[in-house]
Each structure stands twice: as structure tokens, then as C-alpha cells.
Homo-oligomer: A and B are copies of this chain.
Amino acid sequence: MATISIVGSGNMGTAIAGLALAGGNDVQVVARDQAKVAVDPAVTTASFGDALTGDIVVLALPYPALDDVVATYGDQLAGRTVVDITNPLDFSTFDSLVVPADSSAAAELAAKLPGATVLKAFNTNFAATLASGTVGDVTTTVLVAGDDADAKAALTAALDGSAVRVVDAGSLRRARELEALGFLQLTLAAGERTQWTTGFALL
């Protein structure tokens, strides 16, 4: 059992909270608007700015919100595992990412949180596939990248017993490819080449 804080209560945060609960963990959901926290009453809720209780902190927020998280929670995140789920798209063009081509949102976040252990995960999963545990008839795979094997193992163990499986995608350098995959999947869904309830499955 792990203690997990999830910052954000949108579709992704709600789905990840469900997985964390299914894994038998202590779950805190941190949200600006408590009314939007639609998850199981077993979670503890908190407001943005309140103390984090999780050893693992999932930032279930859009990319532009990360700077506010760093400003508000930077000190508290030191010593914790921070999970970045963002796809840093340029939504005005849907034709590129806003992070440098040789970097990633996760690498940028790690640079801003030198005391934290940053993992990239969940960004290649549409929320519906986390909620259902399936992509079509295939079990949903959560790809996780990071430089700390213990942190990756802890996240993997925390989701053991949930509907998804976790696969180690390598070092944090692979976040660049995970973000490319997330970007591609978003463009395919937006172009109706795949569905928001499916996307890529790993077999």
C-alpha cells in the first residue's frame, strides 16, 4: 500500500484515483473545486494549496498548470515521487509540442523540481481506457518512464490489483517518445482515426 496524492479532478485525475483506490492505496485528491471531485468517498479530498499526504504525487493537470504546481508545491514535492501525465501540445495548431524538440515536459519538470523524483506516466492513455481498464479488448497498458527504478517499482506496485498493467518504458529520456506517442494519439483521435475511448494498445 502506498500513499498517493492526485492533484486534479478532471477525467484523468478521477480515473487515476479510481485505479489508486483499486490498488488498495491511501488516496488524496487535491482540487481547486471540491464540487468536481466525483470519485469514491474513500478518497480524502483537499484544496489546492493544502498539504500533500502522498509519497507519490500524480499531477493530473494540463501542461500549462505545472508552473503553478511548482510555485505552490515545489518545497513539499522534494523527496517525493512526482508523476507527470501531461501532453504539452500546442493546441492552437495541433501540429507540434510546446517543449523543445530534444526535451520533454517531464524533463523540464524534473529540472524545476531537483529534490523530487519525476516519472512520466499515463500520458499515452485516454481517460476512458484508464477507467475501463481496456483498449478495445486489450488490457490498458500504462507506460512509465523515469530514472529511479525504485520509484517506478513503487508506482507499479501501487497499481497492482487495479484494472491496468504498468510497463517500464525506460529512463526519463523516453518521456520524449511517450510525449510524441501521446501527441500522435491525440491527433489521430481529433481526426477520427481512432476513438477517445481506445487509441493505442500494447500487446
Q: Interface residues, chain A, CB within 8 Å of chain B?
A: 95-96, 100-102, 135-138, 167-171, 173-174, 176-178, 180-181, 183-184, 187-188, 191, 193-195, 198-203
Of B136, B167, B173, which is within 8 A of A188 by CB? B167
Nearest CB in chain B: distance from A183 CB, A: 6
Residue numbers in B under 8 Å from A169 (CB-CB): 184, 187-188, 193
Nearest CB in chain B: distance from A1 CB, A: 26
Residue numbers in B under 8 Å from A102 (CB-CB): 101-102
A136 nearest CB neighbor, chain B only = B203
Residue numbers in B under 8 Å from A184 (CB-CB): 169, 174, 177-178, 180-181
A178 to B174, CA, bound (A): 14
Residue numbers in B under 8 Å from A138 (CB-CB): 136, 138, 201, 203
Of B135, B188, B193, B203, which is within 8 A of A194 by CB? B203
Nearest CB in chain B: distance from A200 CB, A: 5
With A136-B138, A181-B181 as contacts: A174 and B199 at CB distance below 8 Å: no
Nearest CB in chain B: distance from A169 CB, A: 7
Provide a sorted-by-A list of 7 A–B residue pairs whose CB atoms are within 8 angstroms. Answer: A138-B201, A169-B188, A169-B193, A177-B180, A200-B200, A200-B203, A201-B201
Residue numbers in B under 8 Å from A193 (CB-CB): 167-169, 202
A195 to B203, CA, bound (A): 7
Residue numbers in B under 8 Å from A194 (CB-CB): 167, 202-203
In the complex, the answer to whether B173 meets A180 with C-beta atoms within 8 Å is no
Of B170, B187, B198, which is within 8 A of A174 by CB? B187
Residue numbers in B under 8 Å from A187 (CB-CB): 169-170, 174
In the complex, the answer to whether B167 meets A176 with C-beta atoms within 8 Å is no
Residue numbers in B under 8 Å from A201 (CB-CB): 136, 138, 200-203
